[in-house]
Each structure stands twice: as C-alpha cells, then as structure tokens.
Structure 1
Amino acid sequence: MDDGDRAALGRERKLIVSAVSTQLVDRVAIVTGAASGIGRATALALAQAGAAVIVADVNEEGARVVAKEIEARGQRARGQIVDVGDEESIVAMIDAAVDGFGGLDILHNNAADSDPALLERDLEVVGLDAEVWDRTLRINLRGPMLGCKHAIPRMIERGGGSIINTSSASGLTGDSTRAAYGASKAGLQSLTQYVATQYGKQGVRCNAIAPGVISTPALEANVPPEQIAVYSGNTLTPRLGRPEDVAAAAVFLASDAAAFITGQILSVDGGLLAHHPAMSEIRALAGAGS
C-alpha cells in the first residue's frame, strides 16, 4: 500500500466514523416546548449527546426544572421562557443561546398549542371559528417560521446548523376534525422544505419529524382509553410511541450522521400511515370469520 492508498483509506475511515456518530460535543441547541413530553425528552437526549441546551417553554418553571435535571447529570443547560407567537420573545431565546453558550447549531421547533380547550374547538372546516384557526397557526406555524428566521443567521456564522421541526401525522392525512391543527402541521412541512432549499448551500439543514400517536401524560389525560385502543390497533409496532422515540430521531437529524439529509419529513409513527386504512377492520372481520 503506497502513501496515496493510505491517505485514501484514512479519509474513508474518517467518513465512516462521521457517518455513525451522533455525538454533539461543542454544539449548542435550543428546544422549544421543552418543559414536557417530546420537547423534554429531546432536550435530555441532546444534552446526553454532548450539546449545551436552551430548554425553552412558555412554562418558565417547567423549563427550569428540566434544565436543572440536565445540570444534575453534569451536562450544560439553561431554562428560558419563550412565547413562540411573539417575535421579541424568540429573539431573546436565540440571544440566550449565543450569549450563554457562544452560538447556535441546532434548533428544534417543537412547541405547539396543545391547550385542550382549543383542541375541542378545532372542528371541521364549516364549524371552525376563525379565532381557533388564527391562534393555532400563530403558534404552530408562525412560531417555527420566526424561529428559523432568527436562528439561521446565527447558524451561518458558525458554518451551518440543523433545524428540526416537529410536524405530525395529522399534517400528512385528512381527518374528520382538527382542521386547523392538521393544516398548521402540513404548512410546517412545506416550510421545512423551503428552508432546506433556501439555506442548504450555506450549511443549514432543515428536516421535520412527523410523530404518530405518542404516549404522554397529555394523551392519557385527554383521550379516552377506547380511542387509544383504536390507535394501538392501527399501529404496526407492539406499542404506541414514546417521547424518547422522537427524541432519538431528533438527535440523529441534529448530528453529523445526517449530514446528507435535508428537506425530509421523517415519520416516527410505528407504521400508522404505512398500511391500508381499513386494515384494523379487515383484521376484525377475519377474526370473526375464524
């Protein structure tokens, strides 16, 4: 083997190591909606991978609790209040990352308006109050846009970065209710591809995760057990999703292991949307026939 071959082999080994690495040492991340559920799990996972994390949420106390949990493990974090519907609040959040940790490399736009009182009013289109539509899009779509707007210049200063948007399976299909929520998540998927297209050459990647049914305290508190059983019957895995499943995908997309992945919508739904829509009913008929 000559020197040229050795150099080529060395480059190949470096590429292999980079391709499998999800380590985020010396990276700075922001996670919105991080006081609970998917956001909390992602903040913990990013910190575990080595990133310094701004734990951002409209629930300031909840954000600080999660930040303290991270710090108790010997990792770096800071709790930060944010109202993603307010541009000045988002600017303050970005500044907190830059001033506190020296820059910004990762943004997980995870916050959404999940107020049960709002969701109960998110009906079919004819019965939908315009105020519900406006409020939903303000948080679920306008908020991530503002996050991207102010994060991207900071990422470019450091040679690039990764933006991960939490979309939803609801943004990929129609349903009999929750028209505003579904439309906001579909819009977020489109925004993801526009950001990837416009800033990819400057080193900024942007992807979305579309979770299916994720078992959280909010789900269990607001969804009847019978409905959860229906979701379970339409999921191809032995269990429903967990926040940690989405967090693992977010860490991957944030890392160098995903360096050639951008503009994609990654479904983390246990196969919810991968099968014939009448599958569970057909299974029931087959069982009754036997």
Structure 2
Amino acid sequence: MRGLAGKAGIVAGGGRGIGAATARRLAAEGAGVVIGDIAGDWAMDTARAIREEGGRAIGVRLDGTKAVSQAAIVNAALAEFGRLDFYHSNLAGGTEGDIDVLNCSEEVLDRSFAINAKSHFLATQAALPVLIERGGGTMIYTSSGAAISGNPLQVAYPMTKNALHALVRHVARKFGKQGIRANGICPGVVLTEAVAQHLTQDYVTSMLNSLPHKRLGQPDDIAGAVAFLASDDGEWVNGQLWHVNGGSLLRD
C-alpha cells in the first residue's frame, strides 16, 4: 500500500481474529502498531509475534468501554512511536442473550451498546484531537452486515451497529475539512477463531450454498480492506460503509 511505511496507529480488539490479522498486515506494510485488547495477554502475544517477524508493535490491555483506557492507548502510541495516523476501532461482542426484542434483557441491551457503540464513541474522543492536531488521519471502524440484514435472531447488536454508522458519517462530515477520514467495514461471515468454534459443518455448507463466492471469509480479507483505508491509497474514501462479505449482501 502507498504511504503506510513510517506511519503508526492503533488496532483496538487486536489480540485475535480480524484485529490480529489487521495488525500483522499493517506492520508488514511498514506501520508501527499498538495492539489493544481486553485480554492484555493476547495483545502482547500478537505484538511479540509481529516483532519476531521484524515489525514494530506493542501490546496493551484495553477496556474500550472506559474513557481512561482509550486515552491510555492513544498515549501509548505517542510514547512508543511519536505519532498517531490511524485508529482501527475493532471492538465487538456482547451478543449472548440477544435473541429478539421480546427476549432481550435490559442488561444485554446495555452491554451491547457499551461494547459495540460506546467503545467506538470513546475511541473517537480519545484519538480525534491528536489526529486533528497533526493535520489529519483516519478512523476505521468495524461494523457488521447485521446492521442492515434484518436478522430475526438479534435486536441489540444490529441496533448498535446502526449507531456506529451514524458515528462514521458524523465524523466524516464534521471533520473532513480538517484532514480526517472516517470509514467503516461490515464483514460477512469471517472464520475467526471465535466464530469457527461455534460453526457446524452443516451451517458452513448452507452459508457456502447461499454465497456467490467459493469460500467464506478469512481475517486477512478484512485486514486488506483496513490497510487500504489507512494508507494513502484510500485518501479519497470518506464516510463510507464497505461491505466486505463475498457477496452475501449486495449493496450500492
């Protein structure tokens, strides 16, 4: 990718899965990466593996639902690399008990909003002033195709992802003139460690039968899209929600 070498940024939720693949890809492109994860050991292990391959990375524990933790990871990037060029806000979860609107407790709803909406809001509040001060940068958020697919089996999670879409467009529209780009990626079914352990072969077969592609997604598929948006090649992409899903949802 053009213009990633020498840059530095944050991958929140980077201990495993999509986040870890993205951190590895960004480091391979020459960027310095701060990996944050609620499981701090995962973040540090992934960073260690990147360093062993010659990349630049550190791992820290991040509770993305807390403003103080978001501020700390931004400060870690500045302390380690002396700059911040991008923030990939990749936190997601809290789907247990999210069944439908008549079978979703207030506790489940609150947890989903904290992880899937509030965390991205707090990440933006922590990173944006630094990005603006240095003359620009990019916020990249992980959303989900669930935001628009009309899944009958969840209600809180899709609601939170739609809230995230509003944040993407707000940041792009409000701060674009100050050099800020904000975009979101909506993955389809991606075979991360967490997803793969819950999928039966029958489910995988049914998904493949409905997908206009030869395979399901891999974390590297999303990592490539994030790397493009963080790079100078993505300089004219702003305020967009990209569906990277093998064609499972066909959108304008």
**TM-score scaled to structure 2, two decimals?**
0.97
SS in 2 for 1:253: helix
Instruction: Indicate the residue corresponding to 1:233 in structure 2.
Output: 209
Deviation at 1:252, TM superposition (A): 0.3
- Structure 1 residue 102: Cα displacement: 0.6
| Aligned mate of 2:218, from 238, 242, 254 | 242
Q: Which runs of 4+ in 1 moved over 3 A?
A: none
Aligned match of 1:48? 28
Q: 1:227 Cα deviation (Å)?
A: 2.0
Q: Secondary structure at the match of 1:198?
A: helix
**Matching of residue 262 in structure 1 with residue 242 in structure 2:** no
Of the three residues 90, 105, 109, the one matched with 1:129 is 105
Cα distance, 1:224 vs. partner? 2.6
Q: Is the 8 A contact 1:41 1:244 kept in 2?
A: yes
Taking structure 1 as the reference length, what is the TM-score of the superposition? 0.84
Q: Which amino acid aligns with 1:209?
A: I
Unaligned segments of structure 2, at least 5 residues: none
**Aligned pairs (5 A) from 1:9-88:** 21-88=1-68
Alignment of 1:1-290 (within 5 A): 21-113=1-93, 118-274=94-250
Amino acid of the residue matched to residue 93 of structure 1? I
Amino acid at match of 1:102: G
Task: Give distance in 1, aligned partners of 2:101 and 2:90.
Answer: 25
Q: Does structure 1 retain, via aligned residues, the 8 Å contact 2:27–2:56?
A: yes
Distance 1:23 1:74 in 2: 19
Identity of aligned residues (%): 38
Give ranges in structure 1 of 5+ residues lacking alignment: 1-20, 276-290
The letter of the residue matching 1:30 is: I
- What's 1:9 paired with? none
Query: Once the 2 structures are TM-superposed, how far is the Cα of residue 223 of structure 1 from its aligned partner?
Result: 2.6
Distance 1:171 1:55 in 2: 26
Decide which structure has greater helix share: 1
C-alpha displacement of 1:225: 2.4
CA distance in 1, matches of 2:194, 2:59: 22
Q: Distance in 1 between matches of 2:226 and 2:95?
A: 26
Q: RMSD over aligned Cα, in angstroms?
A: 1.2
Cα separation, 2, equivalents of 1:104 and 1:221: 35
Q: Secondary structure at the match of 1:119?
A: coil
1:120 deviation in Å?
3.5
How far has the Cα of 1:130 moved from its partner?
A: 0.9
Instruction: Write the distance in 1 (CA, Å) between the matches of 2:25 and 2:120.
Output: 21
- Specify the SS of the correspondent of 2:190: coil
- Distance, in Å, in 1 between the alignment partners of 2:209 and 2:99 is 24
Partner of 1:280: none
> What is the rounded CA distance, in whole Å, between the counterparts of 2:209 and 2:13 in structure 1?
29
CA contact (8 A) 2:67 2:126 kept: no
- The Cα shift of 1:144 comes to 0.6
Query: Does the CA-based 8 Å contact 1:56-1:81 persist in structure 2?
Result: yes
CA–CA distance in structure 1, aligned partners of residues 120 and 210 of structure 2: 30
